[in-house]
Chain A
Amino acid sequence: KQEVTQIPAALSVPEGENLVLNCSFTDSAIYNLQWFRQDPGKGLTSLLLIQSSQREQTSGRLNASLDKSSGRSTLYIAASQPGDSATYLCAVKGAGNMLTFGGGTRLMVKP
């Protein structure tokens, strides 16, 4: 059964720092990987979608990489801002269209 782990569980940084969130998964037979953002009590917003054949995707200050063979993905946030404060969730899509989530990284960016 697929298991997805996110490290760290929580992170607090001063504004302006570049930071890296980590995601690992146990079964490399995935179709794609998505990074989501969730504000407290709100819905999940898709940030980046990386196909299994891709190595990375970029959107603005966000860059996500994927190393399928080693079961790892990283989300890089450049020049962090207080508005980036949220929980970031990694999820992998596997057989049967099933989506497996990690536990999330709760990010706080201090002004």
Chain B
Amino acid sequence: EAQVTQNPRYLITVTGKKLTVTCSQNMNHEYMSWYRQDPGLGLRQIYYSMNVEVTDKGDVPEGYKVSRKEKRNFPLILESPSPNQTSLYFCASSPLTSAGGYTFGSGTRLTVV
């Protein structure tokens, strides 16, 4: 089944403790992206990657890092999480062809206390 897999689904952590949210896709998509979703603010893009070793900032990149060492994986790293990063996070992938649609993961609910 074609899918984007995120882990973990739920995470509670303390301020300053580094964490990584993993994302993997099995569709051989070139493009991958991370979003956060907050009430009243909608979905905002954090980082994206056009291909292996190519990453770029989205609208809200502060406090986050990403890497794209392999085509299928695109982890999101929070080096020093803060409470304002409490949110629902989504990973997505799509082909780079103009006709390609996006596929989203099931989401990661992160709480930073």
Chain A residues engaging chain B, CB cutoff 8 angstroms:
31-32, 34, 36, 41-46, 49, 51-52, 89, 91, 93, 97-99, 101-104
Classify the interface of chain B: helix, strand, loop or mixed. strand
Jot down 14 A-B pairs with beta carbons below 8 A, ordered by A: A32-B99, A34-B102, A42-B106, A43-B107, A44-B90, A45-B104, A46-B103, A97-B48, A97-B94, A99-B33, A99-B92, A99-B94, A99-B102, A103-B42
The answer to whether A51 touches B106, judged by C-beta atoms less than 8 angstroms apart, is: no
Which of B88, B101, B103 makes the CB contact (< 8 A) with A41?
B88
Q: How many residues of B contact A (CB 8 A)?
A: 23
> Which of A34, A49, A93, A97: most chain B CB closer than 10 A?
A97
The answer to whether A97 touches B50, judged by C-beta atoms less than 8 angstroms apart, is: yes
Which of B42, B88, B102 makes the CB contact (< 8 A) with A93?
B102
Classify the interface of chain A: helix, strand, loop or mixed. strand
Which of A32, A52, A98, A104 makes the CB contact (< 8 A) with B101?
A32
Distance A38 CA – B90 CA, assembled complex (angstroms): 12
Distance A82 CA – B31 CA, assembled complex (angstroms): 35
Distance A93 CA – B103 CA, assembled complex (angstroms): 13
The chain B residue with its CB closest to the CB of A51 is B99
* 5 smallest beta-carbon distances between A and B, as pairs: A31-B98, A43-B106, A49-B101, A44-B104, A101-B43
The answer to whether B42 touches A101, judged by C-beta atoms less than 8 angstroms apart, is: yes
The answer to whether B98 touches A32, judged by C-beta atoms less than 8 angstroms apart, is: yes
The answer to whether A43 touches B90, judged by C-beta atoms less than 8 angstroms apart, is: yes
